[in-house]
Structure 1
Amino acid sequence: MMNFDRIKEKLEILADAAKYDVSCSSSGGNRKNKGGLGNSHVSGICHSYTEDGRCISLLKILLTNHCIYDCAYCVSRKSNDIKRAAFTVDEVVDLTINFYRRNYIEGLFLSSGIFKDADFTMERLVRIAKKLRQEHNFHGYIHLKTIPGTSDELMKEAGLYADRLSINLEIPTESGLKLLAPEKSHEQMTKPMTFIKNELVLYKEEKKIFRKVPKFAPAGQSTQMIVGATDETDLKIIKVADHFYQNYNMKRVYYSGYVPMIEDSRLPSVFSQVPMQRENRLYQADWLMRFYGFDANEILDQKNPFLDLEVDPKLAWALRNREKFPVNINTAPKEMLLRIPGVGVTSVLKILQARKFQKLNLGHLKKMGVATNRAKYFIEFESENIFNRLIDEQNFRQIVLNGMKSKWQNPFSEQLSLF
């Protein structure tokens, strides 16, 4: 018989402890329902809002906030004087099923502090996913956080039942990790990442030969880095992210601004909160690397090691590289269209298709979804755009920022107003 008051207390403690892990947004899963509970294929699973306004939710909890490690940045660290709790395997399974039946959730995001050792903890996480799949025929989304140091055998089993596996890199550099979590190393984290990458490659190869191959983590793997707990630059952070995209077949890298909790000489002051805008800019830079063809060294360099908090990274790049503009929207290649501020991937595809049949103007671009309040300063439709060649860089930046705040107006009138 379940003690509901005790379960509720555990849920409050362990859901609150899980809020610092941000790596559980859209799933990308494709696990179809063939007669059981749930379906991660129909709409995808996330903990935020979809484009049509639906809120898709996960039960996001820790199995326990007991932990053998004493990482300075972690609320669950061994030395922290907090209320501790732990679920049993059956309690997590029952919560997931009951919450799903009440339409509270569409999946499970399960992480944990580390009991005893890595395998001891991971075995329980795997057992929860296995019971949901095999005993309750649950087809909803399951995301398991893997534990550094887990054996390959447990990693293999986890991938058979979870849609996504992830392991947090935590601090971007090895030196930063050694400062704040001396018991851990990046090697402990990259070893399971390598195993997952190899299993994903093997699954794709076997799928070409055999019709029915057991799925392995169909939504791939992800990781997370804490931003601001150590003094890494944004350039360093996005170069680390790029390394993991290129070498570990990473689906997503997440960035979590450090939340100061205690005074510690190794950590930033409790009054120095990482600006939310910095986190946002890192995600935008990440997007440029994954979908717009930007290299990490183009977005930032040694002279500009931090992202501009006033403007987005693509606009910042364009302002630094004015010699590449204006771009003729009717003749420029796809690679250059993608670099115009305010022009997204979908809009570029529309431009490439539409310009086969007619010469495009600003009105056409607006109908295609282009943010013309930004793009208008970097494009041309005739052979020359005098506006971009007459004003100096400092004034140009301010005109662009002012134009983004107001409705479109003739850029020549803005130029004349300078004199």
Structure 2
Amino acid sequence: MNFERIKEKLNILADAAKYDVSCASSGSTRANKNKGLGNSTGMGICHSYTEDGRCVSLLKILLTNHCIYDCAYCVTRRSNDVKRAAFKIQEVVDLTINFYRRNYIEGLFLSSGIFKNPEYTMERLVAVAKKLREEENFNGYIHLKSIPGASDELMYEAGLYADRLSVNIEVPTISGLKLLAPDKKHEDFTKPMLKVKNEIARYRNERKIIRSTPKYAPAGQSTQMIVGASGETDKDIIYSATFYYKKYQMKRVYYSGYVPVLQDSRLPAVGTQVPMLRENRLYQTDWLLRFYGFAVNEILNDAHPNLEVDIDPKLSWALRNLHLFPVDVNKADKHMLARIPGVGMNSVNKILQARKIRKLNWDHLKRIGLALNRAKFFVVCDSRRWEHRDLDAEKIKGMILQTSTGKFRNQYSKQLTLFN
């Protein structure tokens, strides 16, 4: 083996993979059998994310950065002048095993550019996973990026060896896809998504009858959207994400801020990078929709097409709906408690349990863990301290921001003193 050449390939193809952030591994339970290598537990694999989004607990690489497509937003596009490389199937297998034995990784995240055609590329991705499972007896986590346009037969085989599959929808809207990736069709993305969804459902039904039914993509499927490449509003992005959650039972939708690395008249100018805070607000909204009982049109609609940068989406919703507040924490139901700014679902459950014993006051709420710098404007309890009356939305927002800014300054001052 030419180690220098392998190292060069690794540098090129690991760097090219950093733009894909959809590599979470929670949700898989693949037990170690017959003294094999690795173990993917029900708690998932712990991750350490670098600043550019790479998950360093997985070997995260492309099989190749050669590509027949010329998508405007992609650094590996056909017309881009970058150094190209491609791994052989056995090279990826050997790298995964060697890195695992050295405790560098706990699994593999494998994606690829498209060389020759989607079917040929997907065959090679599946071959890597198959070799790891059957020849190396590897039971660690494997996430395969499904190639849009691959056949149903290959998608089925991929799910037998991978813990999670993902097809990146890339651009949130069909019109944006036509503009930035004219070589691709929307159905090339949705067809494999539907196949995976149906196979997961079939596996679950068959397993109820036959316990030995082979697992199929036990950690489900995910997708990723590029934010800021084609001018979509936050409303467009979240409405699209909601559709994929409902239609294809996605485990996760990831939001990746567009990194301007190419000069193209269809794209934002080089140097105008999407703020990380916009990604953060999209994830917060995603969380509210999935776990807090919010409907998408409550947070984003024609009157509010974009999320506010300076405050989180739950606080933004509350300030627009002050007629629903203050909420009495000793009487409100779970649904309404979850809508109070500064109150997480763990705190909601603690409130429901604690108020069975006695009425709660501010000291109790503080000990439960409420972020009182926000929550105090929206709740009442068995105490009158801190209650605010006759404050409009702008005043409340200003007071919260002032408190948050002061808190940040204090933390920064402490860190600076410690450093000095």
**TM-score normalised to structure 2 length:** 0.93
Farther-moved stretch of structure 1 (320-329 vs 2-11) = 320-329
Cα distance in 2, alignment partners of residues 62 and 27 from structure 1: 21
Q: For 1:144, what is the secondary structure of its paired residue? A: strand
Cα distance in 2, alignment partners of residues 273 and 84 from structure 1: 25
Q: Counterparts of 1:396-411 in structure 2 under 5 Å?
A: 396-405=396-405
Q: Is the 8 A contact 1:25 1:48 kept in 2?
A: no
Q: For 1:305, what is the secondary structure of its paired residue? A: coil
C-alpha deviation, 1:403, in angstroms = 3.1
Corresponding residue number in structure 2 for 1:284:
284
Q: Does 1:333 align with 2:354?
A: no
Q: For 1:105, what is the secondary structure of its paired residue? A: coil
Farther-moved stretch of structure 1 (344-353 vs 9-18) = 344-353
C-alpha deviation, 1:43, in angstroms = 4.8
Q: For 2:224, what is the secondary structure of its paired residue? A: strand
C-alpha deviation, 1:405, in angstroms = 4.2
Q: Counterparts of 1:195-234 in structure 2 under 5 Å?
A: 195-234=195-234
Q: Does 1:73 align with 2:73?
A: yes
Q: Counterparts of 1:367-378 in structure 2 under 5 Å?
A: 367-378=367-378
Farther-moved stretch of structure 1 (384-393 vs 289-298) = 384-393
**AA of the residue aligned to 2:357:** F
Q: For 2:19, what is the secondary structure of its paired residue? A: coil
C-alpha deviation, 1:196, in angstroms = 0.5
C-alpha deviation, 1:387, in angstroms = 4.9
Residues 1:330 and 1:181: Cα distance change in structure 2 (over 3 Å): same
Corresponding residue number in structure 2 for 1:30:
29
Q: Is the 8 A contact 1:298 1:317 kept in 2?
A: yes
Cα distance in 2, alignment partners of residues 384 and 125 from structure 1: 63
Corresponding residue number in structure 2 for 1:52:
none
Corresponding residue number in structure 2 for 1:82:
82
**AA of the residue aligned to 2:339:** R
Cα distance in 2, alignment partners of residues 241 and 388 from structure 1: 37
Runs of at least 5 residues in structure 2 that lack an aligned partner in the other structure: 50-54, 408-420
Corresponding residue number in structure 1 for 2:235:
235
Cα distance in 2, alignment partners of residues 384 and 359 from structure 1: 13
Q: Is the 8 A contact 1:24 1:46 kept in 2?
A: no
Cα distance in 1, alignment partners of residues 235 and 63 from structure 2: 35
Q: Is the 8 A contact 1:293 1:335 kept in 2?
A: yes
C-alpha deviation, 1:364, in angstroms = 1.7
Cα distance per residue 1:116-137 (max 9 Å; x no partner): 1111000010010000001111
Residues 1:236 and 1:385: Cα distance change in structure 2 (over 3 Å): farther
Q: Is the 8 A contact 2:75 2:262 kept in 1?
A: no
Corresponding residue number in structure 1 for 2:19:
20
**AA of the residue aligned to 1:241:** A
Cα distance in 1, alignment partners of residues 406 and 268 from structure 2: 38
Cα distance in 2, alignment partners of residues 32 and 390 from structure 1: 59
Cα distance per residue 1:224-266 (max 9 Å; x no partner): 0000001110011001001111111100000000000122110
Corresponding residue number in structure 2 for 1:414:
none
Q: Is the 8 A contact 2:166 2:223 kept in 1?
A: yes
Q: Counterparts of 1:181-330 in structure 2 under 5 Å?
A: 181-330=181-330
Q: For 1:267, what is the secondary structure of its paired residue? A: coil
Farther-moved stretch of structure 1 (22-31 vs 307-316) = 22-31
Q: Is the 8 A contact 2:26 2:42 kept in 1?
A: no
Q: Is the 8 A contact 2:155 2:192 kept in 1?
A: yes
C-alpha deviation, 1:303, in angstroms = 1.3
C-alpha deviation, 1:384, in angstroms = 8.4
Q: For 1:254, what is the secondary structure of its paired residue? A: strand
Farther-moved stretch of structure 1 (66-75 vs 204-213) = 204-213
Farther-moved stretch of structure 1 (394-403 vs 97-106) = 394-403
Q: Counterparts of 1:27-176 in structure 2 under 5 Å?
A: 27-34=26-33, 35-41=35-41, 43-48=43-48, 57-176=57-176
Corresponding residue number in structure 2 for 1:344:
344
Q: Is the 8 A contact 2:361 2:383 kept in 1?
A: no
C-alpha deviation, 1:56, in angstroms = 6.5
Cα distance in 1, alignment partners of residues 202 and 27 from structure 2: 19
Corresponding residue number in structure 1 for 2:416:
none
Cα distance per residue 1:325-380 (max 9 Å; x no partner): 11111110000011011111111111111111111122222222222221111110
Q: Is the 8 A contact 2:362 2:385 kept in 1?
A: no
Cα distance in 2, alignment partners of residues 182 and 46 from structure 1: 38
Corresponding residue number in structure 2 for 1:364:
364
Cα distance in 2, alignment partners of residues 17 and 386 from structure 1: 52
Cα distance per residue 1:126-160 (max 9 Å; x no partner): 01000000111101000000000110110000000
Runs of at least 5 residues in structure 1 that lack an aligned partner in the other structure: 50-54, 408-419
Q: For 2:26, what is the secondary structure of its paired residue? A: coil
Cα distance in 2, alignment partners of residues 81 and 392 from structure 1: 55
C-alpha deviation, 1:42, in angstroms = 6.1
**AA of the residue aligned to 2:149:** G
Cα distance in 1, alignment partners of residues 101 and 94 from structure 2: 11
Farther-moved stretch of structure 1 (76-85 vs 365-374) = 365-374
C-alpha deviation, 1:40, in angstroms = 1.2
Q: Counterparts of 1:386-397 in structure 2 under 5 Å?
A: 387-397=387-397
Q: Is the 8 A contact 1:66 1:84 kept in 2?
A: yes
Q: Is the 8 A contact 1:24 1:47 kept in 2?
A: no
Q: Is the 8 A contact 2:376 2:387 kept in 1?
A: no
Farther-moved stretch of structure 1 (155-164 vs 396-405) = 396-405
Q: Is the 8 A contact 1:46 1:58 kept in 2?
A: no
Q: Is the 8 A contact 2:361 2:382 kept in 1?
A: no
Cα distance in 1, alignment partners of residues 139 and 119 from structure 2: 25
Q: Is the 8 A contact 1:27 1:164 kept in 2?
A: no
Q: Is the 8 A contact 1:179 1:266 kept in 2?
A: yes
Q: For 2:198, what is the secondary structure of its paired residue? A: helix
**TM-score normalised to structure 1 length:** 0.93
